[in-house]
Amino acid sequence: MKTDWSLEMPPAYFTLESYEGGAARWCPGCGDFAVLTAVQKICRDEQLPPEKVVAVSGIGCSSRFPHYMKTYGFHGLHGRALPVACGVKSRRPDLKIWVATGDGDCCSIGAGHWVHAIRYNMDMTVMLFDNAVYGLTKNQTSPTTPPGRKTNTHPRGAWLPALNPLTATLGFSNVSFVAQTVDWNPVHLHATLAAAYRHPGTSFVRILQRCPTYSDDMFAEVQKDSNRLLLLEHERGVPAASGLQRMYAKRMEHDPLDMAQARALAEQQDTLPIGVLFADPSRPRYDEYTAQGLEMTAEDRLNALESELDRFAV
């Protein structure tokens, strides 16, 4: 018998360049660069064909993300990154979705979609670029701006307590993955996003991201004093790499299935937990439902529709 190799293709190997869609135009020193590189690295490590990847965003600095990925992309309306992503996933479950959304885009105008997208739990990775300010529109107060911080809309300082995206997301029904990381630690950023990518369901990752123009000092203290961060470790979370362990003196073994502890950690103000707070892969996924009948031909669909309509025949 001779072997049939006709179905095999010469192996294609994707490098970082395969996912680089042109020079990124963010301010020099912007934390978004790190996130972009981390995502491109994960795509490369997983050898995802670029045509099987979709980057979806809303409006904001970070939402330029799809332009810099040489994959499919959708630069949506303000606050509408998540519904667009859900729409793509609901009928194309084979695509890998990366959602780039900012603190304004997600937590303010898009907050309604945020609640439901988390509840739908479709398989995608949601990256919340949280620089605690509206940067694109030149320094206005965003939902996550800490009180007292002076902005163009609150020259005497923000008045309300900041919205905590972690506690909020952990409170939504059917939440399946919540993590937090920082843009200035590429190792942890990459590991956290990789864990989020591997998680089946909506993985919500809040990335503390510096805006070199308007909030460069926002995380200066945290950056300087690594004791302000608490490294969460678990075999089901971010793997405890020795390099990371050396960087952070404060470490804690946290089981991502422990919701009560996750909520308590998310509430903390003095030390910021980084790593996976909550992950439960068993939560129901709406895309498994919405993707039914994909193999139906147009004729099948028409027949199904007709038979449904026939039920109303008198």
Residues found near another protein in the complex (CB under 8 A) = 1-7, 9-10, 15-16, 23-24, 28-31, 33-34, 36-37, 40-41, 51, 183-187, 210, 212, 243, 295-298
* CB 42 to another protein: min, Å: 12
**Residue whose CB is less far from another protein, 15 or 282:** 15
* CB 120 to another protein: min, Å: 26
**Residue whose CB is less far from another protein, 190 or 285:** 190
Find out whether 127 and 139 touch, Cβ atoms under 8 Å. no
**Residue whose CB is less far from another protein, 257 or 291:** 291
CB half-sphere exposure, 176, CA atoms < 13 A: 28
Q: What is the 3-state secondary structure (H, E, C) of the chain?
A: CCCCCCCCCCCCCCCHHHHECCCCCCCCCCCHHHHHHHHHHHHHHCCCCHHHEEEEECCCCHHHHHHHECCEEEECCCCCHHHHHHHHHHHCCCCEEEEEEEHHHHHHHCHHHHHHHHHHCCCEEEEEEECCCECCCCCECCCCCCCCCCCCCCCCCCCCCCCCHHHHHHHCCCCCEEEEEECCCHHHHHHHHHHHHHCCCEEEEEEECCCCCCCCCCCHHHHHCHHHEEEEECCCCCCCCHHHHHHCCCEEECCCCCHHHHHHHHHCCCCEEEEEEEECCCCCCHHHHHCCCCCCCHHHHHHHHHHHHHCCCC
* CB 68 to another protein: min, Å: 11
**Residue whose CB is less far from another protein, 74 or 177:** 74
* CB 187 to another protein: min, Å: 6
**Residue whose CB is less far from another protein, 34 or 162:** 34
* CB 156 to another protein: min, Å: 29
* CB 15 to another protein: min, Å: 8
* CB 50 to another protein: min, Å: 12
**Residue whose CB is less far from another protein, 171 or 239:** 239
* CB 52 to another protein: min, Å: 10
Distances (CA, A) of 166 to 107, 142, 272: 11, 16, 11
**Residue whose CB is less far from another protein, 140 or 223:** 223
**Residue whose CB is less far from another protein, 30 or 266:** 30
* Tally of CB atoms within 10 A around 87: 16
